[in-house]
Structure 1
Amino acid sequence: MVTPGIGRGLLDVVERRFLLRLIVRKELRVRYRGSVLGMAWSYVKPAIQFGVYFVALGVFLRMRDTVPDYAVYLFAGIVVMNFFGEGFGNATRSIIWNAPLINKIYLPRELFPVASLYVSAVHFFPQLVVLLVAALISGWRPTVAEVLAAVVGFLIVAMLALGLGLLFGAANVFFRDAENFVDLIVMVATWASPVLYTWGLVQAELPRWLWFVYQANPLTAAVELFHYAFWYGGTGRPALLPNGTAPIPDNLWAVGGGALVVSLVVLVVGQLVFRRLEGRFAQEL
């Protein structure tokens, strides 16, 4: 006998995979209802972002002179941050968006943040294909370590986005300001990670203790893992860049492992907070 209304968190999502697929299909239909471009928006937004940043930083600020294949370097970081930003933001808003369902029937509430992350992954993979093609054109021939780096980077971002989405999604039910904080976090995270610039420039300017704080950001590790996976091989794997800094941190795998642990901790904390508050969702909504 199981007490009604008490679930097992994310384990229930695994058992109800069919229901998860239904929610994902519903979200995709609602999102693109009446849209002319439909899934093509998965390409339009990152293309515009890439164009603006490449012209502003690559051309005007001459980043392409100091970073070989700067276009691939830039797009690898944009792909990571788009996945994180969309997954985190939509997971935060998912409970509010699905209030009619939550008020009518009981089903594992975690289904909604997970479905939002799933939709973000659906948008992520077309961008990844573009990144793969660009990397191959630039001369990229991956090694096993580089492929593994891409997998680890993806897991870091997915767990971090879901963990924060569960945490802020629960808070957003009670305080609508939470989703506004999410937008600020995503904006700051884009500039606080080596997406538009190289990590060596940061290391040269920050004091040692603040540099460790910078590296402790899981998104920093995820972006660098994607750079190592898709950009580094296409540059001929040089020891130094033209500006004299190393292209990839020497402790990349140690930082990546730490980021994986931090993301897992965030996921566990987010799940615990979500389960603690989910019993009041229907009442508050």
Structure 2
Amino acid sequence: MTEVSPRPLPEGMERPGVARGLLTLVSHRYLLTLLVRKELRVRYQASVLGLAWSYVKPGAQFAVFFFVMGQFLQLSRSIPPYAIFLFSGIVVVNLFSEILGNATRSVVGNAPLVRKIFLPRQLFPLSTVLVALVHFLPQLVILVIGALVSGWRPDPAALGAALLGAVLVIVFALALGLLFGAVNVAFRDTENTVDLILMVAVWFSPVLYNIGLVRDHFGADSWLTRLYEANPLTIAVELFHRAFWYPAAEPGVRDGALIDHVMWRGVIALVVCMGLLWVGDRVFTRLSRNFAQEL
């Protein structure tokens, strides 16, 4: 039998059920808004505190790390003001962790929708970015207030570093979330792998300690140090340090060697992560054709 090719569609119409990339989601803003509302409503259903958990969780995390690392291990003496240094890193890692963790589970978690109707599958991981931003903004407000109390005064370089760091971590987390989210449909072990990554993320980026300790231990020119500094999450954390901690820190505790180049490192890392996002989008789009059957 000869294969019958599909008839061309009239102008202005497109064939339904065809997987497309992230760029096409602009025309599905209403669906994206509905998914974000659903995620927030389900997450805080029957919750007493509701969105207040956006303050409670990072606050408890900060308190534990501050007293263990800052007081018991005396890091607050070598990295003043340690509270700003610590919290500026925590908000970055929390944003990364929430996007990556939820994006990995987004397709499986919306299995009934995937099986019943067709809609762009990228809407699910993309909605996790917007939900994460809803939780990120209250933490950012607390960070800004704390930095102002510590003597921080905003300047163009600081604001640019904060914006670049936020965009970098969003693009990096979404790129990985698309990859892991697509693979997780067929191999559920992916969720456990991502959980392991998120568990060590706070320790393998300069959130609790100054990056100078890594350079002193392995050597400034060591390949391990270069690999550590090339981590986009490390660069994003250092960008937030440049934005909020660096202006208030004492000159003797600033890591000037990295701070001087952190903006350039951020731009380069963002370009690389944009390429990774393109790869993740292509892989997700290709594998999404079988999501309904796999689920």
Provide TM-score, normalisation by structure 1: 0.96
Q: Is the 8 A contact 2:238 2:262 kept in 1?
A: yes
1:11 aligns with 2:20: no
1:147 aligns with 2:159: yes
Secondary structure of the structure 1 residue equivalent to 2:259: coil
Q: Map 1:1-285 to 2 at 5 A.
A: 1=9, 2-207=14-219, 208-235=222-249, 238=251, 240-241=252-253, 246=256, 248-285=258-295
| Deviation at residue 4 of structure 1 after TM alignment | 2.1
- Measured in 2, the distance between the counterparts of 1:148 and 1:105 equals 42
| Deviation at residue 268 of structure 1 after TM alignment | 1.0
Higher alpha-carbon deviation: 198-207 or 41-50: 198-207
- Measured in 1, the distance between the counterparts of 2:211 and 2:259 equals 8
Report how many aligned residue pairs link the two structures. 281
Unaligned runs of 5+ in 1: none
Q: Is the 8 A contact 2:19 2:289 kept in 1?
A: no
Q: Is the 8 A contact 1:74 1:195 kept in 2?
A: yes
Sequence identity, in percent? 56
- Measured in 1, the distance between the counterparts of 2:235 and 2:265 equals 6
Question: AA paired with 1:282?
Answer: A
| Deviation at residue 233 of structure 1 after TM alignment | 1.4
State the Cα deviation string for residues 141-176 of structure 1 (Å, max 9, x = none): 011011000000001100011111110000000000
| Deviation at residue 9 of structure 1 after TM alignment | 1.1
Higher alpha-carbon deviation: 22-31 or 244-253: 244-253
- CA 1:21–1:245: 2 relative to 1, 3 Å: closer
- CA 1:68–1:248: 2 relative to 1, 3 Å: farther
Q: Is the 8 A contact 1:136 1:234 kept in 2?
A: no
- Measured in 2, the distance between the counterparts of 1:247 and 1:262 equals 22
Question: AA paired with 1:86?
Answer: E
Q: Is the 8 A contact 1:23 1:115 kept in 2?
A: yes
Question: AA paired with 2:259?
Answer: P
Secondary structure of the structure 1 residue equivalent to 2:205: coil
| Deviation at residue 3 of structure 1 after TM alignment | 2.5
| Deviation at residue 249 of structure 1 after TM alignment | 3.0
- Measured in 1, the distance between the counterparts of 2:256 and 2:158 equals 17
Question: AA paired with 1:4?
Answer: P
Secondary structure of the structure 2 residue equivalent to 1:129: helix
Q: Is the 8 A contact 2:103 2:181 kept in 1?
A: yes
- Measured in 2, the distance between the counterparts of 1:88 and 1:136 equals 30
- Measured in 1, the distance between the counterparts of 2:286 and 2:205 equals 32
State the Cα deviation string for residues 6-31 of structure 1 (Å, max 9, x = none): 14311222111111011100110000
Question: AA paired with 2:272?
Answer: V
